[in-house]
Amino acid sequence: MSKKKIIIINGPNLNLLGKREPEIYGHQTFEQYFEVLKDKYSDRVDLVYFQSNHEGFLIDKIHEIGFSYDGIVLNAGAFTHTSIALADAIAGVKTPVVEVHISNVHKREEFRHHSYISKNSIGIIIGFGLRGYDFAIQTYL
């Protein structure tokens, strides 16, 4: 049995996890958590991580891997609520996307209640902290 190829793509400001608003996002960096995920799934998944604060780089990465990977776990950060271009990028590729949000966006500001990318995702995981990424990976196994 071959390993699944899954990429986690994080958008703007998620490079600050562990430092940024720890009361919402916790104290662990994403890089630390990513090592936990890689260890947990090393026998079944080739897991890749990409982060950018630039919308175009996120779109380029989705285009690059969107026909060859088994899954995309996407936390688009604030672009979730603003980017029609990201929604179009997801719609334009074959690789299924699971949308992930660390916090419960529906308990936050009103503008965070709408997602442009949800309609093109196979599912949404909201409010389970970093564990949401783990849940998303399980979707593809």
- Amino acid 86 reads L
CA angle 97, 4, 35 (to 5 degrees): 85
pTM: predicted TM-score of the whole model, two decimal places: 0.94
Pull the structure tokens for residue 7.
């990429």
Q: Is 140 a catalytic residue?
A: no
d(CA 97, CA 122): 6
What stretches of 7-129 show up as alpha helix (H) in DSSP?
22-25, 30-41, 55-65, 84-91
Pick the catalytic residue: 33, 41, 69, 101? Answer: 101
d(CA 4, CA 124): 20
d(CA 140, CA 108): 29
Residue-wise pLDDT tens digits, 81-116:
999 999 999 999 999 999 999 988 877 778 777 899
Residue 25 banded pLDDT, cuts 50, 70, 90:
confident
Residue 48 banded pLDDT, cuts 50, 70, 90:
very high
d(CA 81, CA 69): 25
Query: Structural domain boundaries of the chain?
Result: 4-139
What's the pLDDT score for residue 21? 79
**Architecture of the domain defined by 4-139:** 3-Layer(aba) Sandwich (3.40)
Pick the catalytic residue: 25, 41, 69, 133? Answer: 25
Better-predicted residue by pLDDT, 2 or 93? 93
Q: Is 101 a catalytic residue?
A: yes
